[in-house]
Amino acid sequence: MTASKKLSLLLLSACVVLFSGCATPESRIKSSPDVFARLNPDQQALVKAGRIAVGFDMDSVKLALGDPDRKVLHTDATGQHEVWHYITYEDYEGAVIYTGYYHRYWGWGGPFFYGGAPYYRGYPARIHDRVIVVFDAGGRVSSIQEEKP
């Protein structure tokens, strides 16, 4: 195999890996039609719009928002609650750089970390939870925290 064919194959593989993570509610619905079918019409409309509501189960949240970037087990006087975090990285002007857990890769044009702090194009960046979902002991959404646009 020539060097140019190897390079082409490598670039094609990188593109497939890069774009396979770009799932939308529609693509997740197609891959889990049974989960979508058990929702009522109002819930289905929310999932299609990438939104969730109190009472959704974990599978329905995954349909709407995808896999969480981080999971935390929270214990308080009422018991244990699983908390899902969906993370966003923004530049210093508030423009979204990256959505999802960023693996601190020093890539071209992406955020980078210096001394544990995120930077983007030489300026400080901000990491924050765009959505926090709390589940009750039965695996249903009990609260949702979202940033206001």
How far apart CA 98 and CA 65 sit, in angstroms, is 15
Mean pLDDT of 4-19: 47
Residue 118 resides in a domain: yes
pLDDT at 27 over 50: yes
pLDDT at 142 over 80: yes
Residue 100 resides in a domain: yes
pLDDT at 5 over 80: no
Neighbouring C-beta atoms of residue 136, cutoff 10 Å: 16
Domain region containing 121? 22-146
Residue 2 resides in a domain: no
Residue 142 resides in a domain: yes
Q: What is the number of domains present in the chain?
A: 1
For position 12, what pLDDT does the model report? 47
Mean pLDDT of 84-101: 75
Residue 71 resides in a domain: yes
Order of strands, sheet of 123-124, starting from the edge strand that comes earlier in the sequence: 112-114, 117-120, 123-124
Residue 122 resides in a domain: yes
Residue 8 resides in a domain: no
Q: Tokens 């289905």 — which residue?
A: 44
